[in-house]
Structure 1
Amino acid sequence: MAGVARFVASSLAPAAQRFAPQAAAGALRRVLEVAIDGYQRFPGAEAVAARYLEKQETDAQGRRDVQAALEAVIDQHVRLAGVQGFLTSIGGLITLPVALPTNLTGLAVVQTRMVAAIASLRGYDLDDPRVRTAVITCLLGEDGVTDRLKNSSLPTSPLAMATAPVFDPELDRLVSAEVVGELIAHIGGKRMAITVTRRVPLLGGAVGAGVDGWSTYKIGQYADKVLLRRAPRPIEQ
């Protein structure tokens, strides 16, 4: 995870530090491609989905429990989010401006791969750009998507995006910009808490791990809810 974060942080961090979501949207999209497709020894979402499905016992018809595999994927990524949140939150106060963009990148990678693995388990084709737009949208969380639908800053839900007749590149750019803003707001909110708690040894790391783990859990639950199962599609194993 640290290697992936370093690989992509150089392009995302400067824009994130300037708190300019539009400027960072293109860089974030590249980060999320890495999260879905994998990088070197960091397995992509389909490989993760297949691994957890393979771990499930088969029933009398030879089928494996997709929901159990999905829940295991969420649990794994909640733990990963907690670990990367801890590691990027325990430095001294002087490291805060550096740690935040790295944390933003690591969190985006963890959460995107989790949602993409859920989509794969539910029968969606991760090579379809419409599905990738839907995956990114799920990073806004249920409240974030609902609020944006109400104020019309998003035109439709992740499920509708994934099943739309055609891919809409303008919608994809819009979603990327919205997600950058959401991630920056998440990191900014966490910053207020850990700036104080870092004065107590290891407490800042615990806060960082808890905040990132909880947000990842909520996004996983939302993806589970909104990405309804499609017709069965074989997952390569």
Structure 2
Amino acid sequence: MPLLRRSKSEDSAADKALAQAASDEADKGRLSQAATQLVRRLVDLGIDGAGPLAPAAEAAAAARRKHPQVDDAIDALVSSSTRSAAVGGFVTGLGGFITLPVALPANLLGYYVIATRTVAGTAALRGYDLSSEEVRSAVLLVLADEDGGALLAKFGLAGPGGLVTRLARKQLTGPGLAVLNKAIGFQLLSRLGRSGLSRLGRGLPLAGGLLGAGLDAYALRRTAKAARAAFPLRRGEVGSALDSGL
């Protein structure tokens, strides 16, 4: 679903997430800690690489070496991510790296780690520097899907152009990006924790568990499609963007 297509309920959820993210009092709660740590885990594991996972830029560079055309490399990256997710024991292999202060389904957290790596790898292949804070925030916004569109509007970031361009144009300071990232964390926690995960199940049509039976290819490819839209090709920057992550 496009990032800027949203409902009134999504606007309301975005308002709530922003209020929670900006509240000093909320920082003392377990939910706030979980939102912050979820974003940190996704960045650590999905972008920078930690534990058994290599950096996303490294995976992107490997795909580019085999597939000189950028879009072919992205296709290969998505296919590789799908296969990796289907290998049993993926979440177990992450061990304590994925532990959060609140109980959430490990298989769904595993999905978001893989989705983060796919989005970040797509960004790197399109010429974006994954060490940039704006790029990292853009990766997280893609994960939030339609919820991210509501957050963009609340931050005055709706409009034409890629996500990174809009974030740079807004010139959010470090604290501003931190509030945005934390709001995304609240959004993702809300989606993960909804009763019976029913809405998540409809938004991401997963048949059974994400592991063992394998990651539902449609879900990941939909995320990859959103990433392509969010990160238009930066000609002349592709090689340097991949090198910066190695």
Same fold (TM over 0.5): yes
TM-score for the superposition, normalised by structure 1: 0.65
Moved more, 207-216 or 121-130: 207-216
Matched with 1:145 is 148
Match of 2:57 in 1: 46
Q: How many residues align?
A: 193
- Name the SS for the 1:43 alignment partner: coil
Distance 2:183 2:55 in 1: 24
Contact 1:53–1:65 under 8 Å retained in 2: yes
The alpha carbon displacement at 1:40 in A equals: 4.2
2:157 is the counterpart of 1:156 = yes
Structure ranking higher on relative contact order (CA contacts 8 Å, 6+ apart): 2
Confirm whether residue 133 of structure 1 aligns to residue 149 of structure 2. Answer: no
Counterpart position of 1:27: 37
Shift in Å at residue 101 of structure 1? 4.3
- Matched-pair contact (CA < 8 Å) for 1:104–1:187: yes
Q: Could you tell me which residue of structure 2 aligns to residue 66 of structure 1?
A: 70
Question: What secondary structure sits across from 2:154 in the alignment?
Answer: coil
Paired position in structure 1 for 2:193: 188
Q: How much does 1:113 deviate?
A: 1.3
Cα deviation, residue 78, structure 1: 3.5
Q: Secondary structure at the match of 1:139?
A: helix
1:127 CA displacement: 1.3
Query: Is structure 2 residue 175 aligned with structure 1 residue 170?
Result: yes
Gaps of 5+ in 1: 1-17, 57-63, 89-97, 194-202
Counterpart-to-counterpart distance in 2, 1:108 and 1:30: 12
- Give deviations 1:37-85, integer Å, cap 9, x for gaps: 11244111110101111111xxxxxxx2000111221222234445579
Q: Which amino acid aligns with 1:66?
A: V
Partner residue of 1:78?
A: 82
Quick one: structure 1 residues 205 and 24, their matched pair in 2 at CA, closer, same or farther if it must change by over 3 Å? closer
| Structure 1 residue corresponding to 2:118, chosen from 114, 118, 123 | 114
Partner of 1:196: none
**Aligned equivalents of 2:209, 2:69: Cα separation in 1:** 35
TM-score, normalised to structure 2, is 0.63
1:60 corresponds to = none
Cα contact 2:82–2:215 (8 A) shared by 1: no
Deviates more, 1:218-227 or 1:159-168: 159-168
- Counterpart contact for 1:84–1:106, Cα < 8 Å: no
Residue 218 (structure 1) shift: 1.7
C-alpha distance in 1 between matches for 2:185 and 2:212: 19
User: % of aligned pairs identical?
Assistant: 29
Q: 3-state SS of the aligned residue for 2:139?
A: helix
